[in-house]
Amino acid sequence: MVDNSSEEAKELGKLRDDIDAIDEKIGALISQRAVCAQSVAEVKGRYSDGSDPIFYRPEREAQVLRKAMARNQGPLSDEEYARLFREIMSACLALENPIKVAFLGPEGTFTHEAALKHFGASAKVAPMTAIDEVFREVESGACQFGVVPVENSTEGVVTHTLDSFMSSNLNICGEVVLRIHHNLMVSDVTKTDSITRIYSHAQSLAQCRKWLDAHYPNAERIAVPSNAEAAKRMRSEWNAAAIAGEAAAKLYGLTVLADKIEDMPDNSTRFLIVGQQDVGPSGHDKTSVVIAVKNEPGALHDILEPFHRLGVDLTRVESRPSRTGNWNYVFFIDFDGHVETPKVQTALEEVSRRAADVKILGSYPKGVL
C-alpha cells in the first residue's frame, strides 16, 4: 500500500494556511463592524431625548439578512449564509445593549430553538412555564421580548396565544417559522430493543402517529407538558424513549435513534415575537389585527370586502369566541403590508367603520430565515 499521509498533510497544510489568511481578514472585518455598531449605539443614545434609546431594530435586521441572502454566491445555502450574519448581528446588538427574551420553556423546546433562530445566541433567553407568563414577563418589562408558538402546519392554531392578545397590549414585533423535525431519542441506560413507553408532547405524538404505528405499535404513548420534559423524564427509564427536537437531545445528552420521524415532511411551526415596540417598515412586512364584528348577517363579508377591493392579500383568518359577550366572535386577520403604507391605512379605515372594534396587533417583517 502506498503511504499518502505526507502528501495529504502537505495539501491540507496549504489549504489550512489559506483558511487562516481568510479568517484573519474576516476577523478584522467583524471587529470593524462591531466598532461601527458601537457608534450606532452612541448615536441612538445621543438622539433619544431622555427616553430609552431603541437599540433592537427588527426591520433593519430583516433587511441585513435579506441583503446577505441576495448576495450569497454559494456554495453555502442562502439560509446557512444568512445565519452567520444573524449571529454577527446578535453579537453586535449585545455590545450595544444586551436584550432579554422570554420564551415558552423549558429549555430544549422548539420555542427555545425559535428564540435562538430569531435573536441569535448572544440574546439572554429565559424559559417560562406558560404562554401567559411569557406575556406577563414582557408586559412587566422584566424581558424586552417574548417568543410564543401561534400555529402549526399539521395541528393548526395555538388558541392560548391568540386568546392572550385579547387581554394584552403587547405588539407583535416579528415572526419566525421553524421546520419541525421530530426525533426518537434514548439515553445510555435504554435497552433499545425493549422500548415500551414513548414520552412526548401530545402535539408531537400526533405529528408522528403513522411512524409510531409502523415502528412501535405496542409502545405506550405518554403525553407530557413539553418535548423537553419528555427528554428529561425518560433518562432514567431503561424501557423508555422520547420524541423531541435535536436541541433537547443535545441538552440532555441523548442519542437519536431515528430522525425526521414526523408524518408530514413540511411540518413547520410559526412563532410570534411580542414586545412593547412599534416596528417600522422593512419592505416586506405583514400586519396582524383582531377584529370584533357586529352580530348581524353578512358582517364578516363586510369586513373582508375592503381588503379584497384594495388588493390587500390576506394570509390568515382565524375566528375565536369573544370574551366580552357583546358579540359572538372575533377574527384574527393577517395580511401583507405595513400599517404605515397608504393602501393598508385606507383598508383599515374602511374596516373600522364597519366593525364593532379593530385592534392592530402590529406590523412586522415577514420571517426571513
Q: Which residues bind ligand PRE (CB under 6 A)?
A: 37, 40, 55-57, 60-61, 64, 89, 92-93, 96
Q: By C-beta, is 92 or 184 nearer to ligand PRE?
A: 92
Q: How far is CA 251 from the centre of its chain?
A: 19
Quick one: 266 exposed, middle or buried, by C-beta within 10 A (0-12, 13-18, 19+)? exposed
How far apart, in whole angstroms, are the C-alpha atoms of residue 65 and residue 78? Answer: 10
- Does the CA dihedral 207-213-216-218 come out positive or negative? positive
CB of 91 to ligand PRE, least distance (A): 8
Specify the residue for cell string 404562554.
Answer: 131
Give me the residue whose beta carbon is nearest to ligand PRE. 92
Q: By C-beta, is 57 or 270 nearer to ligand PRE?
A: 57
CB of 19 to ligand PRE, least distance (A): 25
How far apart, in whole angstroms, are the C-alpha atoms of residue 58 and residue 118? Answer: 10
CB of 118 to ligand PRE, least distance (A): 11
Q: By C-beta, is 56 or 103 nearer to ligand PRE?
A: 56
CB of 184 to ligand PRE, least distance (A): 38
Q: By C-beta, is 43 or 264 nearer to ligand PRE?
A: 43
CB of 60 to ligand PRE, least distance (A): 4
CB of 56 to ligand PRE, least distance (A): 4
Closest alpha carbon to 64 in 45, 28, 40, 46: 40
CB of 95 to ligand PRE, least distance (A): 9
Q: What are phi and psi of 56, to 5 degrees?
A: -80, 125
Q: What are phi and psi of 19, to 5 degrees?
A: -60, -45
Q: Which residues, other chains included, contact 226 with Cβ-Cβ below 8 Å and sequence gap of 6+?
A: 105, 106, 109, 201
Q: By C-beta, is 67 or 191 nearer to ligand PRE?
A: 67
Q: By C-beta, is 93 or 208 nearer to ligand PRE?
A: 93
Beta-strand ranges (E) seen in the chain are 100-104, 124-128, 145-152, 156-157, 171-179, 183-186, 197-200, 220-223, 240-244, 255-258, 268-275, 285-292, 314-321, 329-336, 357-365
Quick one: 137 exposed, middle or buried, by C-beta within 10 A (0-12, 13-18, 19+)? buried
Q: By C-beta, is 120 or 306 nearer to ligand PRE?
A: 120
Amino acid letter for position 216: Y
C-alpha cell at 75: 456554495
CB of 13 to ligand PRE, least distance (A): 35
C-alpha cell at 186: 434514548
Q: Is 190 helix (H, G, I), strand (E, B) or coil?
A: coil
Q: Running DSSP on this structure, what letter comes out for residue 153?
A: T
Q: By C-beta, is 81 or 331 nearer to ligand PRE?
A: 81
Q: By C-beta, is 2 or 70 nearer to ligand PRE?
A: 70
CB of 87 to ligand PRE, least distance (A): 11
